[in-house]
Amino acid sequence: MLDDLKLHYEIERFNTRYAAALDAQRLTEWADMFTDDAFYLVTSRENADRGLPVGLIYCEGRAMIRDRAFALHNTAMFAPRYLRHIIGNLSVERGQEIRATANYAVFQVLFDRPDATVHQLGVYRDVFLRTDQGLKLRERRCVYDNLLVPNALCLPV
Protein backbone atom coordinates (compact mmCIF):
# COMPACT_ATOMS: atom_id res chain seq x y z
CA MET A 1 0.00 0.00 0.00
CA LEU A 2 2.87 2.39 0.73
CA ASP A 3 4.07 2.04 -2.86
CA ASP A 4 0.60 2.92 -4.11
CA LEU A 5 0.55 5.93 -1.81
CA LYS A 6 3.93 7.12 -3.07
CA LEU A 7 2.89 6.79 -6.70
CA HIS A 8 -0.36 8.62 -5.94
CA TYR A 9 1.67 11.43 -4.40
CA GLU A 10 4.06 11.55 -7.39
CA ILE A 11 1.19 11.90 -9.83
CA GLU A 12 -0.54 14.47 -7.68
CA ARG A 13 2.65 16.55 -7.76
CA PHE A 14 2.90 16.03 -11.51
CA ASN A 15 -0.63 17.34 -12.01
CA THR A 16 0.09 20.33 -9.79
CA ARG A 17 3.16 21.23 -11.88
CA TYR A 18 1.17 20.65 -15.07
CA ALA A 19 -1.59 23.02 -13.94
CA ALA A 20 0.88 25.66 -12.75
CA ALA A 21 2.64 25.62 -16.14
CA LEU A 22 -0.65 26.17 -18.01
CA ASP A 23 -2.00 28.77 -15.58
CA ALA A 24 1.20 30.81 -15.96
CA GLN A 25 1.30 30.18 -19.75
CA ARG A 26 4.72 28.47 -19.53
CA LEU A 27 3.90 26.47 -22.65
CA THR A 28 7.35 25.01 -23.37
CA GLU A 29 7.48 23.60 -19.86
CA TRP A 30 3.98 22.27 -20.37
CA ALA A 31 4.80 20.54 -23.67
CA ASP A 32 7.91 18.96 -22.12
CA MET A 33 5.69 17.02 -19.71
CA PHE A 34 4.68 14.75 -22.61
CA THR A 35 6.68 11.91 -24.21
CA ASP A 36 7.87 12.37 -27.81
CA ASP A 37 5.12 10.09 -29.13
CA ALA A 38 2.42 11.33 -26.75
CA PHE A 39 -1.24 11.54 -27.61
CA TYR A 40 -3.15 14.61 -26.38
CA LEU A 41 -6.87 15.01 -26.92
CA VAL A 42 -9.48 17.49 -25.70
CA THR A 43 -12.93 16.13 -26.46
CA SER A 44 -16.52 16.35 -25.21
CA ARG A 45 -18.06 13.82 -22.84
CA GLU A 46 -20.67 13.12 -25.48
CA ASN A 47 -18.02 12.16 -28.07
CA ALA A 48 -16.01 10.17 -25.54
CA ASP A 49 -19.09 8.20 -24.45
CA ARG A 50 -19.77 7.28 -28.09
CA GLY A 51 -16.15 6.31 -28.73
CA LEU A 52 -15.73 9.02 -31.36
CA PRO A 53 -12.08 9.93 -31.89
CA VAL A 54 -12.71 13.59 -32.72
CA GLY A 55 -11.87 16.52 -30.51
CA LEU A 56 -11.44 20.26 -30.10
CA ILE A 57 -7.72 19.55 -29.89
CA TYR A 58 -6.14 16.41 -31.35
CA CYS A 59 -2.36 16.03 -31.23
CA GLU A 60 -0.11 13.11 -32.08
CA GLY A 61 3.41 13.64 -30.80
CA ARG A 62 5.03 16.34 -28.70
CA ALA A 63 6.03 18.45 -31.71
CA MET A 64 2.37 18.81 -32.62
CA ILE A 65 1.46 19.51 -29.01
CA ARG A 66 4.05 22.29 -28.83
CA ASP A 67 2.95 23.81 -32.16
CA ARG A 68 -0.66 23.80 -31.08
CA ALA A 69 0.10 25.44 -27.76
CA PHE A 70 1.96 28.34 -29.31
CA ALA A 71 -0.55 28.83 -32.13
CA LEU A 72 -3.23 29.11 -29.45
CA HIS A 73 -1.08 31.29 -27.28
CA ASN A 74 -0.80 33.84 -30.08
CA THR A 75 -4.54 33.73 -30.68
CA ALA A 76 -5.29 33.96 -27.00
CA MET A 77 -3.54 37.32 -26.92
CA PHE A 78 -6.68 38.79 -28.48
CA ALA A 79 -8.81 37.76 -25.52
CA PRO A 80 -6.50 37.80 -22.56
CA ARG A 81 -7.61 36.04 -19.45
CA TYR A 82 -6.41 34.43 -16.25
CA LEU A 83 -6.85 30.69 -15.90
CA ARG A 84 -6.73 28.66 -12.68
CA HIS A 85 -6.93 24.86 -12.42
CA ILE A 86 -8.27 22.98 -9.44
CA ILE A 87 -7.51 19.28 -9.86
CA GLY A 88 -9.05 16.70 -7.54
CA ASN A 89 -10.37 13.15 -7.23
CA LEU A 90 -7.14 11.55 -8.41
CA SER A 91 -7.25 7.80 -8.96
CA VAL A 92 -4.18 5.76 -9.97
CA GLU A 93 -3.94 2.17 -11.20
CA ARG A 94 -0.70 0.29 -11.51
CA GLY A 95 -0.67 -2.50 -14.06
CA GLN A 96 1.61 -2.93 -17.05
CA GLU A 97 1.12 0.78 -17.48
CA ILE A 98 0.46 3.56 -14.99
CA ARG A 99 -3.10 4.68 -15.66
CA ALA A 100 -4.75 7.54 -13.82
CA THR A 101 -7.82 9.74 -13.85
CA ALA A 102 -8.47 13.07 -12.15
CA ASN A 103 -11.30 15.59 -12.24
CA TYR A 104 -10.43 19.13 -13.23
CA ALA A 105 -12.17 22.49 -13.00
CA VAL A 106 -10.58 25.32 -14.95
CA PHE A 107 -11.81 28.73 -13.88
CA GLN A 108 -11.24 31.86 -15.94
CA VAL A 109 -11.29 35.60 -15.46
CA LEU A 110 -11.74 37.48 -18.72
CA PHE A 111 -10.29 40.96 -18.74
CA ASP A 112 -13.57 42.60 -19.76
CA ARG A 113 -15.66 41.21 -16.90
CA PRO A 114 -14.69 41.17 -13.27
CA ASP A 115 -15.95 37.85 -11.96
CA ALA A 116 -14.56 34.34 -12.22
CA THR A 117 -16.52 31.68 -14.09
CA VAL A 118 -16.08 28.01 -14.93
CA HIS A 119 -14.17 27.76 -18.20
CA GLN A 120 -14.06 24.00 -18.49
CA LEU A 121 -14.97 21.05 -16.33
CA GLY A 122 -14.00 17.47 -16.96
CA VAL A 123 -11.81 14.47 -16.36
CA TYR A 124 -8.25 13.60 -17.38
CA ARG A 125 -7.80 10.01 -18.60
CA ASP A 126 -4.07 9.41 -18.55
CA VAL A 127 -1.29 6.97 -19.28
CA PHE A 128 2.03 7.86 -17.60
CA LEU A 129 5.50 6.60 -18.48
CA ARG A 130 8.49 6.61 -16.18
CA THR A 131 11.46 8.03 -18.13
CA ASP A 132 15.02 9.15 -17.36
CA GLN A 133 13.61 12.65 -16.79
CA GLY A 134 10.90 11.45 -14.43
CA LEU A 135 7.22 10.84 -15.12
CA LYS A 136 5.84 11.91 -18.50
CA LEU A 137 2.41 11.75 -20.07
CA ARG A 138 2.18 9.23 -22.90
CA GLU A 139 -1.50 9.94 -23.24
CA ARG A 140 -3.85 12.55 -21.82
CA ARG A 141 -7.49 12.60 -22.87
CA CYS A 142 -9.27 15.65 -21.45
CA VAL A 143 -12.98 14.84 -21.54
CA TYR A 144 -15.04 17.94 -20.79
CA ASP A 145 -18.64 18.16 -19.60
CA ASN A 146 -19.53 21.60 -21.01
CA LEU A 147 -21.65 21.42 -24.14
CA LEU A 148 -19.90 24.50 -25.49
CA VAL A 149 -16.63 25.81 -24.24
CA PRO A 150 -17.00 29.55 -23.53
CA ASN A 151 -15.58 31.84 -26.20
CA ALA A 152 -15.06 28.87 -28.53
CA LEU A 153 -11.36 29.14 -27.81
CA CYS A 154 -9.63 25.81 -27.60
CA LEU A 155 -7.00 26.41 -24.94
CA PRO A 156 -5.07 23.40 -23.71
CA VAL A 157 -6.31 22.27 -20.28
Residues that bind a copy of itself (CB under 8 A): 1-2, 4-6, 8-9, 13, 15-17, 19-20, 45, 82, 84-91, 101, 103, 105, 107, 109, 111, 113-118, 120-123, 145-148, 150
- Among residues 85, 34, 76, 84, the alpha carbon closest in space to that of 59 is found at 34
Instruction: Rank residues 53 and 147 by Cβ distance to a copy of itself and give the closer one.
Output: 147
Instruction: Rank residues 90 and 127 by Cβ distance to a copy of itself and give the closer one.
Output: 90
What does DSSP assign to residue 77?
T
137, 38 contact by CB (below 8 A) = yes
Instruction: Rank residues 26 and 113 by Cβ distance to a copy of itself and give the closer one.
Output: 113
- Among residues 17, 14, 19, the alpha carbon closest in space to that of 105 is found at 19
Query: C-beta of 105: minimal distance to a copy of itself in Å?
Result: 6
Instruction: Rank residues 1 and 53 by Cβ distance to a copy of itself and give the closer one.
Output: 1
Radius of gyration of the chain (CA): 15
155, 76 contact by CB (below 8 A) = yes
Instruction: Report how far residue 48's alpha carbon sits from residue 141's, in angstroms, rounded to the nearest whole number.
Output: 9
Query: C-beta of 146: minimal distance to a copy of itself in Å?
Result: 5
Query: C-beta of 75: minimal distance to a copy of itself in Å?
Result: 21
